[in-house]
Structure 1
Amino acid sequence: MTQKEIRELSKKVCKNTLMETLEIEFTEAGEDFLVATMPVTPKVHQPDGVLHGGATVALAESVGSMASYLFLDTDEFYVRGIEIAANHIKSISEGFVIAKATYLHKGRTTQLWDIRITDESENLISVVKLTTITLPKKKQ
C-alpha cells in the first residue's frame, strides 16, 4: 500500500471516530507493520500537561487493530482488540508521537502486535502489546 493510499484510507475510516477526535493518522504500511501519528496537544494531556497514558493506549490500539484489519480478509472477518498492556517510559508535552505496530504472531484467529511509540526524535515513549481476534462475519 502506498503512502497516498494509506493516507486516503486513514481519512475514510477515521471519520467520526475516536481516531478523528485524537487526530490519529495512518502514514505508512509494509508487509508486517503499520505506522500512525498523533499530535501531542493540550487536548490529549493529563492535568499536569503531559501526554495522557489513555490517549497513548488509544493510539496503540488504533494502529494495531487497523493493521490487523489491513492484513486480513475483511469481507469475511472483523477484528476486535482483546487484550492490551502498556508500559509508559517517558513523558512528552508537545510535538507528535509515532506508533509502529509490528506483528509478533499472525494467526488465523489471534494476532499479537508489538507497538513502539516514539517521539519525533525517536525517543521511546511507550511500549505496548496488543492482542486482536479475528471473528467471522455472519452470512446474510
Structure 2
Amino acid sequence: MTTLRPAITLDFLRNRQRGRLPELLGVELISLESGTLTGGLPIRPELLAPNGFLHAASVIGLADTCCGYACIAHLPEGAKNFTTVELKSNHVGTAREGRIIAKATAVHLGRSTQVWDALVTNDDGKTVALFRCTQMILY
C-alpha cells in the first residue's frame, strides 16, 4: 500500500494551487493524514448557479481538488504525477451560504491507478454530494 509522502504538506499543496483553478475557486486546505485529505470552500455569490443554489461545478471543483491533492500526497515511489481518467458525482443536497467541506478518502492506492471518494457536506453536516474519481499514476 502506498503511504503518505512526508514532503507533501498542506503548505506544499497551498503553494501548488497559486494562480490555478483551486485558488480561483477559493479552496482552503484543512487537514492531510494517511489515506485522507480535507478541504473547504467558502460559498460566495460567484459560486452559485443562476437559480441561486450552489453550482454543481463548484462542488465538483472542491471534491476533485481534494482527491487530486490526496493522490499527490500518496503517489507510489518513483511516480511523478497523475491524471484523472474518470470521475462521478451524485448531488443530493445544496447550500446557499456558509461553506462546504470535502473529505477525500483512499479506496484503492495502486501503482498504476488510485481511486478516491469524497464526501461533501454543508455547515450543518448534511451531505451535498458523493464523489468518486480514478487517477492514473504517471511515471
Q: Decide: shared fold, TM above 0.5.
A: yes
Shift of 1:11: 2.7
Instruction: Say whether the 8 Å CA contact 1:82–1:131 is kept in structure 2.
Output: yes
Aligned to 2:28: 25
- Hey, what's the Cα distance between the residues in 1 that align with 2:51 and 2:77? 41
Instruction: Among all aligned residue pairs of Structure 1 and Structure 2, give the percentage whose two residues are the same amino acid.
Output: 27
TM-score by length of 1: 0.88
List runs of 5+ in structure 1 lacking aligned partners: none
Aligned to 2:41: 38
Does 2:90 match 1:70?
Answer: no
* Partner of residue 96 from structure 1, selected from 95, 99, 102: 99
Superposed structure 1 runs of 4+ greater than 6 Å apart = none
- Hey, what's the Cα distance between the residues in 2 that align with 1:72 and 1:66? 10
Instruction: Say whether the 8 Å CA contact 1:61–1:81 is kept in structure 2.
Output: no
Task: Tell me the number of residue pairs that the alignment of Structure 1 and Structure 2 aligns.
Answer: 133
Shift of 1:50: 1.0
Are residues 57 and 41 of structure 1, via their aligned partners in 2, closer, same or farther at CA, if it must alter by over 3 Å? same
RMSD between aligned alpha carbons? 1.8
- Hey, what's the Cα distance between the residues in 2 that align with 1:30 and 1:86? 23
**SS of equivalent residue, structure 2 residue 136:** strand
- Higher RCO (CA-CA < 8 Å; seq separation 6+): 2
List runs of 5+ in structure 2 lacking aligned partners: none
